[in-house]
Structure 1
């Protein structure tokens, strides 16, 4: 049974004339009659009684008509919804992302999005978490991909996954060959950290306090790339995302007791309708982040 059989059946039922119905559905009368017979054979019952030019519906036809009309209405509504969404998938979607996400996740997500929606332009800005929050509040961004900012009350934060933070040291650092380092061992260690205006710094300060450790903060930098560069050429250590560095001259060492954890997520304006393009891009971000998180757990069981 095909969709056209049902449409042909409804046309005959509404007009009770194969001649008129064939004109409505743009097929010959003989083709229409043949299609209706196929439908009746498949159902195993007569839907119409034909007496010369007079056509009447059988009891089975009356019962079938109500269900078919409902089914076709659902199909037509679904087609209209999809077409409307496709028509709306135009314009620009603006996304703000912190450095770590802009290096890895965002380019992959944008690539997938543009493959599916080539008529939409994507504008990506690399910003701090607080900068993303402020831009969203001003209406300058549609989506933020970041860690939860200090004050996200006017916004809605949607966590994506939980990630560990690790120690980054140069190849000649005493901790470079360690399997793990306890937070307490960072007491009086020379370190470069994010400024206190970052939510991540608050997480790290809390972990230092729990371990009774006071590092010697010799530098503060508001971007990961220069922190990693400094680590690679000095005896200074940093604490960064486990995904932040892929350099051969920087060693990544897990931290324990406690392990600093943070949750990246999508930041939205609360109580505001989202464009179809923003919803579609967010869906891709969720899928990519979920896959990457699962891969990470398999690599580090």
Structure 2
């Protein structure tokens, strides 16, 4: 399957007329018909029905179209950006991020992004996962940086890397000098964690159940900064993503194992909607920053 096959298919799906589609694709009608037939043969599925002189897209064709259009739009946007001077990219990009990425990753991306696109305005909001999903669906956001929403077919998710949750303790804590800590060893340990409504807390609780461990959750906090500050000044331990630790002074970061809590953060768009050039450019900057940082597999 080649890119031209998908473009021919999308054009025919738009026009439902071989003559007009061939003109728009700048090929002969016979060439277009042959290419569509090749695609149907490769997919082993009819994408169009020929009813007399009419062309009708099949249910399978309609489903296939909804899946490939975001990819074609991203490709077109990427090509357009290559030929567009950076000062020509103007407007506003509206981004929402979960708290973990708003301490280090997002500021680094914004700084590099503004150097490259000085005419752009950036609006960043820190929101919980479910609110990012809601705002994307309502059209109030262009881009989200969060985790994969479970069973949500309205959103397009691009994974960025694997994020490992780590144990954070004060430098004088008994676990501070450990190379690794097993989840079962956290049984009855005084801890500070996110509230239960947070998806990160739910993931951590699942891993505690898997290890047959029950920590003493003394304090629930919805701020990573406050959590780290509390850990630094008390006997309490916390579990966060390492990328969220902006200031590690006075604390030790210890990997967890058996099992290791891992999540996959990524970029979120509305499926089927054309991503604005501004958000495409910002997403590209995020990839560039992460590639330069080269986070290890399993690192936060």
TM-score (norm 2): 0.67
- Comparing 96-105 and 263-272, the one that deviates more: 96-105
TM-score (norm 1): 0.67
Matched, 1:175 2:175: yes
Deviations 1:80-113 (A, max 9, x none): 9935x86872211011112221221112212222
Q: Which residue of 2 aligns with 1:103?
A: 103
Which whole-Å CA distance do the structure 1 matches of 2:233 and 2:215 have between them? 19
Instruction: Give the 3-state SS of the residue equivalent to 1:243 in structure 2.
Output: helix
Which whole-Å CA distance do the structure 2 matches of 1:87 and 1:121 have between them? 12
Q: How does 1:139-178 map to 2 (within 5 A)?
A: 139-150=139-150, 152-178=152-178
Q: Which residue of 1 aligns with 2:48?
A: none
Between Structure 1 and Structure 2, how many residues are aligned?
Answer: 219
- Comparing 88-97 and 159-168, the one that deviates more: 88-97
Q: Which has the higher contact order (CA 8 A, sep 6+)?
A: 2
1:268 Cα deviation (Å)? Answer: 1.1
Deviations 1:167-222 (A, max 9, x none): 01112222112121100000111111112222212221121111111111112222
Structure 1 stretches of 4+ with a deviation exceeding 4 A read 78-81, 85-88
Give the structure with higher Rg (CA). Answer: 1
Give yes or no for contact 1:133–1:152 (8 Å, CA) kept in 2.
no
Give yes or no for contact 1:160–1:290 (8 Å, CA) kept in 2.
no
Which whole-Å CA distance do the structure 1 matches of 2:80 and 2:96 have between them? 33
Instruction: Give the 3-state SS of the residue equivalent to 1:103 in structure 2.
Output: coil
Q: Which residue of 2 aligns with 1:292?
A: 293
Matched, 1:253 2:254: yes
Q: Which residue of 1 aligns with 2:235?
A: 235
Instruction: Give the 3-state SS of the residue equivalent to 1:179 in structure 2.
Output: coil
In structure 1, runs of 5+ residues without a counterpart are: 1-77
Distance change in 2, residues 1:189/1:115 (3 Å): same
1:291 Cα deviation (Å)? Answer: 2.7
Instruction: Give the 3-state SS of the residue equivalent to 1:176 in structure 2.
Output: coil
Give yes or no for contact 1:136–1:144 (8 Å, CA) kept in 2.
yes
Q: Which residue of 2 aligns with 1:275?
A: 276
